[in-house]
Amino acid sequence: MAKTIIVSNRLPISLRHRNGRFEFKPSAGGLATGLGSIYKTGENIWIGWPGNTVDDPEQRAEIILELHELKMAPVFLSKEDVEQFYEGFSNECLWPAFHYFTQYMIYNPEHWEAYVRVNQKFCEAILKRADPDDTIWVHDYQLLLLPQMLREVLPNATIAFFQHIPFPSYEILRMIPWRKQLLEGVCGADLIGFHTYDDMRHFLSAVNRITGLSNESGYLQAENRIINVDSFPMGIDYDKFAKQAKSRKTQNIVKEFKGQMIDQKLIITIDRLDYSKGIPQRLQAFNQLLKDHKELHGKVSMIMIVVPSRDKVQSYKELKEEIDLLVGRMNSDYSTLNWVPVHYFYRSFPFEELSAFYSMSDIALVTPLRDGMNLVCKEFVASKTDQSGVLILSEMAGASKELQDAVLVNPNDQQGVVDAIYEALQMKPAEQKARISSMQESLKKYDIFQWVKVFMDRIEHVKEKQEELTSK
Ligand code: G6P
């Protein structure tokens, strides 16, 4: 029987060194949960990088065995691969380009060569396990070349690709010297998915201008196949967040945390450390609010969680410095003995505590300068089981297309963000309830499991269409 192979740069676990040994930490991310029903079934498998370098052949063999039990197979990356493919081409060329931060783009031919080489490594790892009519679902910008590499060896396989980050307009994409190879690489797939309609349009327009393939109602006509391109906005595991927020454990944590912040309105912000998230701009808006509204001093604080990420990449190091400085300045300007405006945490938190932060916060301030989807805003809404709270959301996040009942802001408009926070602080409970419950309705319906189902159904549909065409 044909099987399904999931492929992503990172496996849904990470490998950590501890006392000379390795241990696995499972990822609690939404994608891992959503795809659980797939890769854990039958002969299916998830292939990817375990997130650390392992050079010792004996240790590698051990890891392979242990991962096998978890229905996963590793692609080992060397130190050089990590520097040139992951930190280099993926995160110093593609990531900034696709998020419109062209000032951070580095065009390094060695990084490009490493990108080709590592995509090939992934291809070989898959070919060791794939049968000719398997379904292979490739995820994200680190593996744009992989669909075509697979297609060349497995012409009849069903290959799908989903991009989790934005797809930029043609004008930005064409700044990358290797844009044609990248587009041809993705076009090896039968189905190509994006979070939003706009990303999909940008992709289709770039494909048309760079490769000449033309699109008819979401289908590209390649030489001897059709390629379906569409948008599939990703959801979260809604029930998991709603259930956790109601749990006794989380509510006890809320009581404990709240006890330390009496009579204060709380604004929650949670992000990976990334310049695309607009963290300094958000701090500046909060600073402006405190400057303009002295009456809010002592009455509102921000809980800012920044999860460490890509800390070897220069632009991320600089961002960390900038945030540290801004928070330090704000807190030294405004703090009193019993009030600190910004509670800043540079680390991740266990799920129950995250859930408590969502549950106890009055406002979630989610203001990325550019974001493919953004799941934090969805997690906040799902966690507000009493339908209180206000979501302030950037128009630049893919999620804003669905969550129209949020207070939408342009993150570059500082005064607009200040006004939105002020409005949110005054919003009547009835309006909060109306907005939150309407967003909850749609998030409940289009959760991560629905997203996986719709995508997998579409793969099947495209394949049937493909077969119809070839049998004519
Ligand atoms: C984004 C990307 C993912 C990536 C994740 C964490 O969500 O879409 O592909 O895995 O960030 O980044 P990292 O560089 O740590 O894998």
Atom of ligand 1 nearest to the CA of 165: 8
Atom of ligand 1 nearest to the CA of 86: 14
Q: What is the complex's ipTM, to 2 decimals?
A: 0.99
Whether 203 has a pLDDT exceeding 80, the answer reads yes
Residue pair 360/258 in contact by the 8 Å Cβ criterion: yes
Atom of ligand 1 nearest to the CA of 139: 9
From 6, 9, 75, 138, mutation site for ligand 1 pocket: most ligand atoms within 8 A of C-beta: 9
- Residue 14, ligand 1, Cβ within 6 A: no
Which residue, 167, 158, 136, is CA-closest to 228? 158
What confidence tier does 336 reach under pLDDT thresholds 50, 70, 90? very high
pLDDT at position 47: 98
pLDDT at position 415: 98
- Higher pLDDT: 367 or 224? It is 367
Which residues lie below 8 Å from residue 96, measured CB to CB, with a gap of 6+?
Answer: 102, 103, 104, 105, 315
H runs (alpha helix) in 75-145: 79-81, 95-98, 109-127
Rg from Cα positions in the chain: 23
- Residue 87, ligand 1, Cβ within 6 A: no
Atom of ligand 1 nearest to the CA of 142: 9
Count CB atoms within 10 A of the CB of residue 223: 5
- Higher pLDDT: 469 or 397? It is 397
**Read out DSSP for 180-247?**
HHHHHHHTTSSEEEESSHHHHHHHHHHHHHHH---EETTEEE-SS-EEEEEE------HHHHHHHHHS
d(CA 111, CA 87): 9
What confidence tier does 469 reach under pLDDT thresholds 50, 70, 90? confident
d(CA 327, CA 319): 12
**What separation in Å is there between the alpha carbon of 342 and the centre of ligand 1?**
26
Which residue, 272, 190, 220, is CA-closest to 461? 190
pLDDT at position 275: 98
The sign one gets for the Cα dihedral 107, 109, 114, 120 is positive
**What separation in Å is there between the alpha carbon of 426 and the centre of ligand 1?**
36
Which residue, 339, 338, 357, is CA-closest to 347? 357
Do the bridges between strand 215-216 and strand 13-18 make them parallel or antiparallel, or are there none, so unpaired? unpaired
Q: What phi and psi, each to the nearest 5 degrees, are found at residue 229?
A: -125, 130
Which residues lie below 8 Å from residue 339, measured CB to CB, with a gap of 6+?
Answer: 264, 297, 298, 301
Whether 165 has a pLDDT exceeding 90, the answer reads yes
- Give the residue-averaged pLDDT of 145-156: 97
Query: Where does 349-439 show beta strands of DSSP type E?
Result: 363-366, 390-394, 407-409
**pLDDT, tens digit, 9 for 90 and up, residues 9-60:** 999 999 988 887 888 988 877 898 889 989 999 999 999 999 999 999 999 9
Q: For residue 220, what are its two tokens? A: 């590209």
Whether 224 has a pLDDT exceeding 90, the answer reads no
**pLDDT, tens digit, 9 for 90 and up, residues 48-98:** 999 999 999 999 999 999 999 999 999 999 999 999 999 999 999 999 999
pLDDT at position 29: 79
pLDDT at position 30: 80
Whether 202 has a pLDDT exceeding 90, the answer reads yes
Whether 472 has a pLDDT exceeding 80, the answer reads no
Give residue for tokens 């679902």: 137
Give residue for tokens 């269409």: 465
**What separation in Å is there between the alpha carbon of 198 and the centre of ligand 1?**
21
Supply the mean pLDDT for the chain: 96
**What separation in Å is there between the alpha carbon of 248 and the centre of ligand 1?**
32
Whether 395 has a pLDDT exceeding 80, the answer reads yes
pLDDT at position 176: 98
- With 0-12 / 13-18 / 19 or more C-beta atoms within 10 angstroms meaning exposed / middle / buried, residue 79 is exposed
What confidence tier does 112 reach under pLDDT thresholds 50, 70, 90? very high
Q: For the chain, what percent of residues have pLDDT higher than 90? A: 92
What confidence tier does 126 reach under pLDDT thresholds 50, 70, 90? very high
d(CA 390, CA 444): 18
From 75, 272, 348, mutation site for ligand 1 pocket: most ligand atoms within 8 A of C-beta: 272
d(CA 54, CA 15): 9
Which residue, 47, 56, 46, is CA-closest to 17? 56
Minimal-distance CA residue to ligand 1 atom 6: 309
How many angstroms separate the first and last alpha carbons of the chain? 26
Residue pair 363/267 in contact by the 8 Å Cβ criterion: yes
